Amino acid sequence: MFITTLLIPLARHSLPLLTAMTFIVGTASAILYGTLNQLASLVFPDSGAFPAAYTSGLQASAGLVLITTLGTGFGGSQQHGGAVNAEWAFYGVISVLVAISWFAFIRLISTSHCVKQSMDQRDSSLSQQDLAALSTPFLDEKSNNEAKEYAEERLLLLSSSFSAIDLLPSQPLPTISDTDVTFVFLWKRTWPCCASLIITVASSMAVASSFNQTKSTNTTSDSLPRILFYVRLFSDLLGRPATLLFPPRSVSCVGLVTAARLIFVPLFFLDVNNTLVLGDWGMIFGVAAFAFTSGYVATGIRQLAPNALTDTRTEVTVPKQSSLINVSFSMAVLLGLVVTFVLLLKK
């Protein structure tokens, strides 16, 4: 990733090469981001502050990009030679920041006692799960179906609202193993969180991808898209720690916020198509509120999602759920880009 970022200026005149480099950088970033999400859910599963902290750090990285851009003059009005030097300087600094981040991640994995202890517990749970699977004899199709039905009955029993007094004293409480918790089961428990995340991120991507289509009421200025870009980033950043001051009470509350913020989407695209004029300030404040609620919902979902597991929260199931949320996030990004392309084709 470090080398790829450093060599991006070489692809300025080759779209296929630039696409390949972007794919490499994006894939590496997604892997690192997903790993951090899993670590956060594993190390401090009951802490709402940790998701707010690392997601805020992700958004705050835009500040470093802004400082680097201003410091190197990248994207300015220099002559050709000066623009090329600024481009190399910009990506050189970004590459150094990437290297520093990577070494910091390695240090976190190798030296943090909390991380090491949690990873050991997870590895132990996975080993026990593998041993249980290996010790189970091979079953024929009929026996395998019976085993699946038995596992489903156990899951339904655990999911139902029963009380301990309804059980006979000699009757043991039902238990569930990590092998019974499949991604299908996790989806049934987590789908409201995933749906809210997909709607929130997809709409945010659709709006952000269209910033370059906005036009200022001041015809002599072309700075509105850049202003909206940084307003979105920093408003999203503020929305994440806001979950600590005003914690979301339930997934239903987050769903209401998700639905309410969608009101801005048609207004934004009507303004882009010059059908409805919000004005520069209307657009700026609208994007600020839209991005703030985006950060709030995205962080609130990660804080509330583990509560949906209740009786199945272990060192294995929580990271599994985090992976499911990461996949939902990626699907939302792609969905937002597809919506943007469709709207641009119709324009």
Q: Angle 65-69-72 (CA atoms, 0-180°, nearest 5)?
A: 130
What are the structure tokens assigned to 94, written together?
Answer: 């970004």
Give residue for tokens 């080398």. 3
Give residue for tokens 């659709």. 206
pLDDT along the chain (347 residues), means of 10: 76 81 81 72 64 73 80 66 77 86 81 70 56 48 48 50 40 46 80 91 89 80 83 90 88 92 89 76 92 92 82 70 83 84 72
What are the structure tokens assigned to 187, written together?
Answer: 């989806």
- Per-residue model confidence (pLDDT) at position 29: 78
- Per-residue model confidence (pLDDT) at position 169: 40
- Per-residue model confidence (pLDDT) at position 185: 81
- Per-residue model confidence (pLDDT) at position 261: 92
- Per-residue model confidence (pLDDT) at position 294: 92
- The answer to pTM > 0.75 is no
- 227 in Cβ contact with 284 (< 8 Å): yes
